[in-house]
Amino acid sequence: MSGRLSVIEPATEAVLAEIERAGTGEVDEAVAAARAALPRWRALDPGARAGILRALADALEQRLDELAVLEARNAGKPIGDARGEMAMVVDTFRYYAGAPERLLGETIPVAGGQAWTVREPLGVVGLITPWNFPLAIASWKLAPALAAGNTVVLKPAELTPLTALRFAEIALEAGIPPGVVNVVAGPGRTCGARLVEHPDVAKIAFTGSTEVGRSIAAGAAQTIKRVTLELGGKSANVIFADADLEAAATAAPMAVFGNAGQDCCARSRILVQEPALERFMELLADAVSGLVVGDPLDEATQMGPLISADQRETVGSFLDGEAPVAIRGSVPDGPGFWFAPTVLAPVRPDARVAREEVFGPIAAVIPFADESDAVRLANDSIYGLSGSVWTRDGARALRMTRAIETGAISVNSNTSVRVATPFGGFKQSGYGRELGPHALDAYTEVKSIYYATGR
């Protein structure tokens, strides 16, 4: 072991839990356990594996409130949001419980025999997950990986390991065989790095920063590991003058300030067509001023604290004295890593806050002239994860959704993630897809089989 790990509650700055901090030795043990459990799990009858995953979904649902409170306290998120995330965890396992019996292949016409394809599990899969949506994002990886017949080693973020550890206990209780699900709670620089380099790990699925994603891709290349990367974002919320401005302004704050802005899908660049700018800002000011920031366990809270003091310092660096603060919300006094929701306007497209991922509750309002200008500004980023278009013109909406370089985009809403639809990025927001039917592709290999008939 590498000593003790103190888990801090962001809303109080107090120690929430003390756990053992894993090191490279614990990673090796977890990989060995996963490798030993693999033959039995992958050979399990598809219906039986599906039944165990359904039982796990039921067990998670029975403990939804317990998990939600634990997530709210550990990650500092409002309890209502935490309940919604735990419900998504349940839905994700229910969705992929149908997958073991639907891992379909194809028959292919060939000369001299019969050819067909099957999908085989990869083996031991390493899952490295972030602190902003700890168990929700873990479930996006766990459920399809397990459904496809893989065994897993999950390394949660060091700041937020508690729901992952509780999940492992629930999984055993629900009938997941020992060794199929393993959790190691430790630093990325040791535990994560060991997973990436480990010769018995067939794949790494990572959600986190683009900077770390680059190093994981480079490290995984040494053993030709399969990799899925869901990385940073700087998404555009494009609002045309003909849009329902009240609806757009009402929805915009939570598209940025939800989870205190600690969301790679955050629509942190608000592009507003110039004729609508003044009215939109008036409406936005009302919406931001009404945002309730406070105790994550208070049912009325809409935004909690940032995850840590370091994160608060990083976010604060974007308010450098030159930033044009147009709207500023309020936060509680006293302990907690609080940061007031802030809107900057007007912001130059080349400003740092318009280029870099803030990962905090700061929005940059950028005016634009016309449709082509909106497309140019929206695409002027190394990222391409999510986005929105607000307009009453249906043809324009369709043109914009095709022209903007992003993995998920919505019209007259700010939706990015659904269990049944694929999620992932363009450009430096990563590669591969999670959720929906496409996620299974990332956890299986296609095998081609030929049977000679002699004629």
**Residues forming the active site:** 230, 264
Q: Is 82 helix (H, G, I), strand (E, B) or coil?
A: helix
Cα maximum dimension of the chain: 82
Residue 201's nearest CA partner among 185, 218, 224 is: 224
Distance CA 25, CA 18 (A): 20
- Euclidean distance between CA atoms 333 and 280, whole angstroms: 30
Task: Identify residue 274 by its one-letter amino acid code.
Answer: E
> 238: closest CA among 107, 381, 117?
381
Burial 386-405 (b: 16+ CB within 10 A, else e): bbbbbbeeeebbeebeebbb
For residue 427, list its beta bridge partners: 383
For residue 201, give both structure tokens. 């790990």
Type of residue at 383: Y
Q: Determine the 3-state secondary structure of 360 from DSSP.
A: coil
SS3 342: strand
Secondary structure letter of residue 21 according to DSSP? P
Q: Closest Cα to residue 340, out of 315, 364, 368?
A: 315
